[in-house]
Amino acid sequence: MTVGNVVIVGGGIAGVSTAAALRAGGFVGDVTLVDAGEFPYDRPPLSKEFLEGRKALADIALQPPRWYDDNKIRLITQTSVTALHTGLGSVELSDGTTLSTDRVVLATGGRAARPPIPGSDGSRVHVLRTGEDADRLRVALIPEARVLVVGAGLIGAEVASTAVDLGCDVVLVDPVRPPLTAALGSELAVWLHTLHTQRGVITLQAGVESLRDTTFGIEARLTSVDLPRTFDVVVLGVGMVPETGLAASAGLEVDRGIIVDHRQTTSNPAVLAVGDPACTRHNGVLLPRTEHWEAAQHDGQRAAATILGTAVPADTAPWFWTDRHHRHVEVVGEMAAAEDIVLRGTLGSASFSAFGLRSGRVVAAVGVDESTAVRAARRLIDRGIAVDRDRLADPSTDLRKLLRG
- Measured N-to-C along each axis, helices 186-198 and 154-165 cross at an angle, to the nearest 10 degrees, of 30
In a domain, 117, yes or no: no
Residue 210 and residue 294 in one domain: no
Amino acid at 343: L
Residue 142 and residue 222 in one domain: yes
Residue 212 and residue 132 in one domain: yes
pLDDT tens, position by position, 204-223: 999 999 999 999 999 999 99
| pLDDT value for 87 | 85
The average pLDDT across 321-332 equals 97
End-of-domain residue from the set 215, 236, 257? 236
Domain count, the chain: 3
pLDDT tens, position by position, 165-188: 999 999 999 999 899 999 999 999
Residue 227 and residue 247 in one domain: no
CATH number for 384: 3.30.390.30
In a domain, 314, yes or no: no
End-of-domain residue from the set 178, 202, 236? 236
In a domain, 120, yes or no: no
> Does residue 1 carry a pLDDT above 60?
no
In a domain, 321, yes or no: no
Expressed as residue numbers, the domain containing 265 is: 5-111+240-308
| pLDDT value for 246 | 97
| pLDDT value for 403 | 86
CATH number for 78: 3.50.50.60
pLDDT tens, position by position, 42-90: 999 999 999 999 999 999 999 999 999 999 999 999 999 999 998 889 9
| pLDDT value for 2 | 60
Residue 394 and residue 352 in one domain: yes
Residue 10 and residue 107 in one domain: yes
Residue 22 and residue 94 in one domain: yes
In a domain, 116, yes or no: no
Residue 210 and residue 168 in one domain: yes
pTM, two decimal places: 0.95
> Does residue 227 carry a pLDDT above 70?
yes
In a domain, 318, yes or no: no
- Residue 19 Cα distances to 55, 110, 308, angstroms: 25, 19, 12
